[in-house]
Amino acid sequence: MDLSGHARARRSEVIDMCLRAPATLTFLIASLLAMTGCATATDTTGTSTAPTVSDGRSPTPDPTTPPGDGASDDSSPTPSAPPGAYVDYSDGLIEATTGTKALFFHASWCPQCRALDEALRAEGVPDGLTVFKVDYDSRTDLRQKYGVTLQTTIVFVDDAGEAISSTVLYDDPSVDSLVAAIP
């Protein structure tokens, strides 16, 4: 049997197994839905929440006017993150934040990503460095822009959001490795 015939036979076996076990099929569908739904944090009303610093506080006041509704208030402050913070990425934060900046491409299903996430929360971010947690699964635009193909990729960016350097911390997802990679 050739490789494609073997693959078709295996796929057929999996489909047969799923059809015989509705609970298994339900579990698989629920798992897939859970994996695709981790792009944005939502509150109990189903609306997106503001980016948060690792200690749970918001980096800046949440703007009351949602983007794209036609209203503009030039006096409202641009959201920014303080240096030394670990925040969820949102558009515009890089340009509004001072100091050294790094994008951490994180996937909730990746054990190494979770390890680095936990280390950043437990040990904190080095002084002067702001780490933006980017959802690996939903931000394909950023993955393409920075050439990211693996989760746990760290991309150091300048004030305009242009890449300076990048590294993959998959083998050693630690704050020490992050510090060693700072350009």
pLDDT digits (tens, 9 = 90+) for 21-51: 455 444 544 444 444 443 333 333 343 333 4
Which sign does the torsion angle of CA 136, 109, 150, 99 carry? positive
Per-residue pLDDT of the chain (183 residues; tens, 9 = 90+): 555 555 555 555 655 554 554 554 445 444 444 444 433 333 333 433 334 444 443 343 333 333 344 344 444 455 666 667 899 999 999 998 989 999 999 999 999 999 999 999 999 998 889 999 999 999 999 999 999 999 999 999 999 999 999 999 999 999 999 999 999
Q: What pLDDT does residue 84 have?
A: 73
The label of the residue with tokens 């800046």 reads: 60
According to the model, what pLDDT value does residue 127 have? 86
Is-contact 83 129, C-beta < 8 A?
yes
> Which tokens in the block code for residue 164?
């300076």
25 DSSP assignment: H
Q: What is the CATH architecture assignment of 86-181?
A: 3-Layer(aba) Sandwich (3.40)
Query: Tell me, what's the pLDDT at 47?
Result: 38
Structure tokens at 111: 């054990």
pLDDT confidence of residue 28: 43
Domains of the chain: which residue ranges? 3-36, 86-181
Q: How far apart are CA 82 and CA 47, in angstroms?
A: 25
Tokens representing 47 are 């609306």
Q: Where are the beta strands (DSSP E) in the chain?
A: 86-88, 100-106, 129-135, 153-157, 163-168
Residues 81 and 51 sit within 8 Å (Cβ to Cβ): yes
Residue 83 is predicted with a pLDDT of 65
Check the CA dihedral 80-83-85-90 and report its sign.
positive
Length of the chain: 183
Could you give the angle at the alpha carbon of 26 between the alpha carbons of 25 and 30, nearest 5°? 115
